[in-house]
Amino acid sequence: MDNIGDIVKYYRVLEGMTQEELAKGIISSSYLSKIENNLDKPSTEVLSLLKERLNIKDEMFISNQTLVGELMDWYKDITTKNFADAEAFYDNNKQRFNVTTDLTTLFYFKIFEAYYFLLNSRTEDGIQYFEELQYDIDSLNDKQSYFYYRISGYYYFFHSYFSFALDSFKKAERVLNETINVEEWDVAELYYMLGMTSSRLRLEQQAIYFTTKALEVYKNIYNLSRLAECHLLLGISYGRTDFFDFAENNYLKAKKIADSLDYKILLSKVHHNMAYLNIKKGESEEAIRGLKSSYYYKLDCNVQEQEFLPTIFSLINEYLRISDIENCRIWINEGMKINENNSVVLSLDYDIHFNTINKYINQSDDFEEYCLTTTIPHFKEKNKDEYTARYSHLLGVFYENINKYKQASMKYKESLFLLNKNLGGFLL
């Protein structure tokens, strides 16, 4: 049994006993603490004495262990994206787990339920389920704390609060390193999310560090799809720091694996990000061709509509950069049409992107006010410095065109300061 400690702690709390009261005459309270945190397993004799003092029947012990074991198998299916089995388990068992009186079992079911929705393309449901959870972190044992921090990280990640997500994932890592053991695939996934979140925050050296750790584990367990995704993420971080050869090398490795797996959505991301290498080199024609290849790969694999938005947004920006207003307007209209049906949390970002650029190219009277009251404050709040910089620069261009040179200079300085910290544009 892997979670004997969870069961002992549950029934001790239920009986209103302290660790000292339960341990008295049997073991030391410090050893009981280790047992409750699943750091040590009691002998048969010690376990028998603890069960006797807590009035635990053997069938209670077995039932709890069996249920938690089933939930851990469900967690693995969710993490490894085996959604067919994960969905079947949830549909067949949700009623049984929702009525359980065992608090340990109920904790794992509720936390994994939110996780299931977050990862299974039901992000808003996952966010709602997670927000309904009410747990005092100090009341959780180390293993429960690990899962709580892990899934908190996903909650914040899908809410686009990447700083909070990174903090949660790092707390999970600390618990993992100090007190508990989990399987290799779970360790790799944690490192991958640390790399992904660091990349979203433009912490490129940290992103490379964690992604490389994840990559080494994925090599050991032969997870080719995640291996390809790690190479993509490394390519992005190297590209942002102008190590173009390293970036291209990782993109080509990702492409080779993706081709062998017929992993078209990843191929679309590879083409998207290689296009950004072209953009940074000033190769607009190649960049636009790569972005359109990315767009058509997505059409070919029938992705959800919101998956088109990053590539459409990138095409808009490149056409704007080369002053091709006609094509810029065409892709803005396409993006707005898709975004109207997009219920994902990130749709607000794209709504602001498309509206801001549309107001700029159409010389709308409210462009300045919209930038100052909506666009820039929104991306500042979300710590998305690359977009704050981009729209500060665009506002600077606007001011320069109407001869407000002092305001233009201020906005250019703000943009330059942020760009010195963050080089964006790559697609995760």
Helices (H) and strands (E) in the chain, counts: 23, 0
pLDDT at 134: 65
d(CA 260, CA 48): 55
Q: Please say if the pLDDT value at position 101 is more than 90.
A: no
Of the candidates 414, 396, 393, 418, the one whose C-alpha atom is nearest the C-alpha of residue 405 is 396
CA atoms within 13 A on the CB side of 68: 21
Q: Using 50, 70 and 90 to split pLDDT, how confident is the model at 352?
A: very high
Write down the pLDDT at residue 68.
84
Specify whether the CB–CB gap between 188 and 224 falls below 8 A: no
Q: In degrees, to the nearest 5, what angle opens at C-alpha 201 toward C-alphas 235 and 145?
A: 110
Cα(153)–Cα(161) distance, rounded to whole angstroms?
9
**How many whole angstroms separate alpha carbon 387 and alpha carbon 415?**
9
> Which token pair is 6?
């969870």
Higher pLDDT: 130 or 193? It is 193
As a whole number of Å, the end-to-end CA separation of the chain is 39
- Closest Cα partner for 190 from 171, 205, 204, 208? 171
Give Cβ neighbours of residue 340 (< 8 Å, ≥ 6 apart). none
**pLDDT average, residue stretch 267-294:** 92
> Position of tokens 């010195």?
420
- Sketch out the chain's domains with CATH numbers: 1-56 (1.10.260.40), 263-337 (1.25.40), 363-428 (no CATH)
Q: In 103-243, where does DSSP find H-type helix?
A: 103-119, 123-131, 142-158, 162-178, 184-200, 204-220, 224-240
CA dihedral 282, 273, 394, 382 (to 10 degrees): -150
Which residue shows structure tokens 């393309």?
A: 121
What confidence score (pLDDT) does residue 205 get? 96
Amino acid at 160: S
Identify the residue with better confidence: 256 or 67.
Answer: 256
Please tell me the predicted confidence (pLDDT) of residue 76. Answer: 92
Tell me, what DSSP letter sits at residue 99? T
Q: Say if residues 277 and 265 touch (Cβ distance below 8 Å).
A: no
> In the chain, pLDDT over 90 holds for what percent of residues?
55
Which position has the higher pLDDT, 201 or 123? Answer: 201
Q: Give yes or no for residue 42 having a pLDDT over 60.
A: yes
Rounded Cα gap, residues 285 and 289, in angstroms: 6
pLDDT digits (tens, 9 = 90+) for 87-97: 999 999 888 88
* pLDDT of 62 over the 60 cut: no
Q: So what's the pLDDT on residue 428?
A: 47
How high is the pLDDT of residue 305? 82
Using alpha carbons only, how large is the chain's radius of gyration in Å?
A: 26
The per-residue DSSP string of 385-402 comes to HHHHHHHHHHHHHHHHHT
pLDDT tens-place string over residues 239-255: 999 899 999 999 999 99
Q: Is the pLDDT of residue 224 over 90?
A: yes
292, pLDDT greater than 90: yes
- pLDDT for 108 equals 87
Residue 357: pLDDT over 60 = yes
CA–CA distance, 356 with 371 (Å, rounded to integer)? 7
State the pLDDT confidence band at 365, using cuts at 50, 70 and 90: very high
Q: Is the pLDDT of residue 367 over 90?
A: yes
Q: Comparing 420 with 165, which gets the higher pLDDT? A: 165
Return the ∠ at Cα 60 (arms to 57 and 66), rounded to 5°.
Answer: 145
Please give the Cα distance from 199 to 210 (Å, whole number).
10
| pLDDT at site 362 | 93
pLDDT computed for residue 137 by the predictor:
72
Q: Please state, rounded to an integer, the average pLDDT across all residues of the chain.
A: 87
Encode pLDDT of 132-178 as tens digits: 776 667 777 788 889 999 999 999 998 889 999 999 999 999 998 87
- pLDDT of 191 > 90? The answer is yes
